[in-house]
Amino acid sequence: MIRALLVDLGNVLVRFDHGRTLKKLEEVTDVPAPALRPHVFGPLEREFDLGRLAPAEFFRAVERSAGLPRVPDDVWIPAWRDIFEPDSDALQALRRLRPGLRKVLVSNTNVLHWDGVLRVIDLGEVVDDFVLSFEVGAAKPEKALFDAALARAGVRPGEALFCDDQPAYVAAARAHGIEAFAVTAPGLFERGLARAALLEPL
């Protein structure tokens, strides 16, 4: 029996646009966004998501990697942070989950993106707990993050349902014995919850 929902954040409960970050950096550096992308959203971002770099350390590392001049932190921070919008349909579905189901958000994210999300949505109203890569020091598809989520939910793998927009992470969850489904298009989150019989009727 499913006793907990482990739910991803980006492209499931919130939408985001990395293009906003790249556009702002392009404006202040005159470096085209396509040339910036691999430096901004590559291995350095993963280190940031794992909590191994503080924001300022991440900014300076990207600047060195991309050969950029120093970009002020008061430009970097909003460019990096302010890219999120809630997905109202998904949040509405989340509020319809049957009573007694433990809801744990499981996200690969960093401290600034997390701050950006909390500026547009009070996630404490819709989930019971958070397992965040930058706090745990592990990221999907690593088993350590799934183990942390199961522990926080207080359930065994076979008692949890996981959903994510990345099929590779869904496959990793299944490999760890967790039932899972992918959210790769609008409406699939609610549909997956309905298939698992986790929604209260309208």
Q: What is the pLDDT of residues 119-135, one digit of tens each?
A: 999 999 999 999 999 99
pTM for the model: 0.95
Domains of the chain: 4-15+85-195 (3.40.50.1000), 18-81 (1.10.150.240)
Residue 162 to residues 43, 146, 153, 169, 171: CA-CA distances in angstroms? 25, 9, 12, 9, 10
Tokens of 128: 């019971």
CB-based contact 3:149 (threshold 8 Å): no
Task: Report CA 48 to chain centroid distance, whole Å.
Answer: 13
pLDDT in the model for residue 59: 98
> In this predicted model, what pLDDT tens digit does every residue of 14-29 receive, in sequence order?
999 999 999 999 999 9
Mean pLDDT of 178-191: 96
Nearest to 181 by CA among 16, 15, 8, 13: 8
pLDDT in the model for residue 62: 98
**What average pLDDT is seen over the chain?**
97
Helix (H, G, I), strand (E, B) or coil at 54: coil
Task: Report CA 11 to chain centroid distance, whole Å.
Answer: 8
Cα Dmax for the chain:
56
> In this predicted model, what pLDDT tens digit does every residue of 44-87 receive, in sequence order?
999 999 999 999 999 999 999 999 999 999 999 999 999 999 99
